Structure 1
Amino acid sequence: MANFLVIGALALDRPVWLEGGLERGGRMAGRSLEGRLAARLGGGGANAGVALTKAGHHVNLASLVAPDDGGDQSIAMAKAAGLDTTLVGRRPGESRTTLILIEPDGERLVLGLDLDRARLVLPPLPSPADHPAIQPDGVYVRAAFPGADAWAAAAPGPVIVHWPAPTYAGPADVVVCSADDLHPDVLADPFSAARLVFGPRLSAIVVTRGADGACAHTADGQIAAQGPSVQVIDSTGAGDVFAAGLLVALSAGAGLEAALQHACAWGATTVGLPSSAPLDAPAGAYRPFAP
């Protein structure tokens, strides 16, 4: 068992399964959780963290939630899922509603309601100096909360950062991003673009392309990998779990090619589950890395 730190959102998702694909001007019906728009555990930090716990690892989740019933409920769900919430702090404001609109083919649209990012001032995460006992074997920075760079700098293990992350100024060994989030100029030469931001410590940028797999770009070239073919039920959280699988393999000493293949397998497992954070994954679904 390894000890991992995941820095990212802890939230409540409210899924709606649509009877058809989204279409401008269309009209359709949908089905909500429990028939009352009930909430399930979500957020990028929780999605990655739950997969890691399912694989038998200890996970500290560092996040910020509102000081209301929604924040209390998300923390309670995270604890029930086996996540260590010692580093979950509170932020000003109220919890927001996030709808996950899921099409029949498993593709989803994340709809955050009433979020005024310009006015949301976040406090820093709890400091590494105040928690010297937390020494993670690897760190995944899914959301660049204030103070995330301090945890990454203090970590002895590999640091994976979700990119783009405009407010993050800390170290990264590998950055992970979706091709859909990158400007064409960056896609033309991903490694050079990422190196300009993160400096010489960066060894690779991994670009994910959904069902088309992922490609790692390094100073020496490219490495492509493809996950197993599965029926897609809900693609929510697959990118987060992909990064968690990559972290597991790199922390175990895997080379980049083997780590990329391991991450693709974890991502493929996730799209076959009807959840955000993969609480319903069967035992053994997220296998440990084996050389």
Structure 2
Amino acid sequence: MADFLVIGALALDRPVWLEGRLERGGRMAGRSLMGRLGPRLGGGGANAGVALAKAGHIARLASLASADDGGGESIAMAKAASLDITLVGRRPGASRTTLILIEPDGERLVLGLDFDRARITLPALPSPSDHPEVQPDGVYVRAAYPGSDAWASHSRGPVVVHWPAPTYAGPADVVICSADDLDPGVLASPFEAARAVFGPRLSAIVVTHGAGGASAYSMSAPIIVRAPPAMVIDSTGAGDVFAAGLLEALTAGAGMEAALQHACAWGAVTVGLASSAPVDAGPGAYRPFA
């Protein structure tokens, strides 16, 4: 059992299962959770953290929840999902409403409502100096909240960072990004582009391709791993859980190819669940790296 820290969003997602594909000018029906746009646990930090907890590890979440009832409900759900919420702070303002529009093939569109990034000032996360008992074996920076640099520097093991992360200036051993988020110039030389941002400590960049698997680029030859076959029900959270699986394997001492295979296996489990954070995964669904 390892002690992991995930830095990222904690949220309430409100899923809507659509009867057809989204089309411009179209009209269709949908089904919401509990018939009233009910919430489920979500946010990139919670999604990754729940998978690590399901694998039997200590999963600590460092996040910022709103000061209203919605923030309190998301914290309660995170705690019920076995996440350690000691490092979850509160921010001023109301909760963000996030709709997850899920098409019949499991692809989803994330729709954030009434969110003005320019007007939100985030407080810093609790400091490592205030929590000497927390000594993470590995850290995943999903969202670069103020203070995330200090926690990454406090890690005893690998630091995996979601990229792009414009405000992050801390250490990174591996960065993960979706091919859809990268411009052609970066895709042409991924490792060189990432090292120019993160510095010489960076050992690899992992580029995900959804059902196509993932590729790792470093000073050595690229490594390409195909995703295992999966029945896709809801793809929400699969990228976050992929990152959690990669961190888990690297912390256990896996080489990159084995770590990618492990991460792809965790992602394949996740797309088969009707959830954002994989709270409904059964025992043994996320097998620890061995």
What range is the shorter-chain TM-score in?
over 0.9
User: Offset of 1:92 from its aligned partner?
Assistant: 1.4
In the other structure, the counterpart of 2:243 is 243
Structure 1 position 280 matched with structure 2 position 280: yes
In the other structure, the counterpart of 1:92 is 92
User: Offset of 1:156 from its aligned partner?
Assistant: 1.2
In the other structure, the counterpart of 2:16 is 16
User: Offset of 1:45 from its aligned partner?
Assistant: 0.3
Distance 2:59 2:211 in 1: 28
User: Offset of 1:96 from its aligned partner?
Assistant: 1.0
- What are the superposed Cα offsets for residues 262-289 of structure 1, whole Å, 9 maximum, x if unpaired? 0000001100110000011111010010
Question: Is the CA contact 2:64–2:91 (under 8 Å) kept in the aligned structure 1?
Answer: yes
In the other structure, the counterpart of 2:46 is 46
Distance 2:73 2:146 in 1: 23
User: Offset of 1:228 from its aligned partner?
Assistant: 1.3
Distance 1:288 1:64 in 2: 28
Most deviating of 220-229 and 137-146:
220-229
User: Offset of 1:227 from its aligned partner?
Assistant: 2.1
User: Offset of 1:124 from its aligned partner?
Assistant: 0.4
Distance 2:129 2:98 in 1: 33
In the other structure, the counterpart of 1:234 is 234
Distance 1:228 1:146 in 2: 37
Q: Which runs of 5+ in 1 are unaligned?
A: none
Fraction of identical pairs, as percent: 79
In the other structure, the counterpart of 1:145 is 145
SS at 2:95 equivalent? coil
The Cα RMSD (Å) is 0.5
Q: Which runs of 5+ in 2 are unaligned?
A: none
SS at 2:281 equivalent? coil
TM-score (norm 1): 0.99
TM-score (norm 2): 0.99
In the other structure, the counterpart of 1:252 is 252
- What are the superposed Cα offsets for residues 155-201 of structure 1, whole Å, 9 maximum, x if unpaired? 11100000000000000000000001111110111100000000000
Number of aligned positions between the proteins: 290
User: Offset of 1:261 from its aligned partner?
Assistant: 0.5
SS at 2:262 equivalent? helix
Distance 1:31 1:234 in 2: 14
- What are the superposed Cα offsets for residues 220-256 of structure 1, whole Å, 9 maximum, x if unpaired? 1200111210110000000000000001100000111
Question: Is the CA contact 2:136–2:154 (under 8 Å) kept in the aligned structure 1?
Answer: no
Runs of 4+, deviation exceeding 3 Å: none
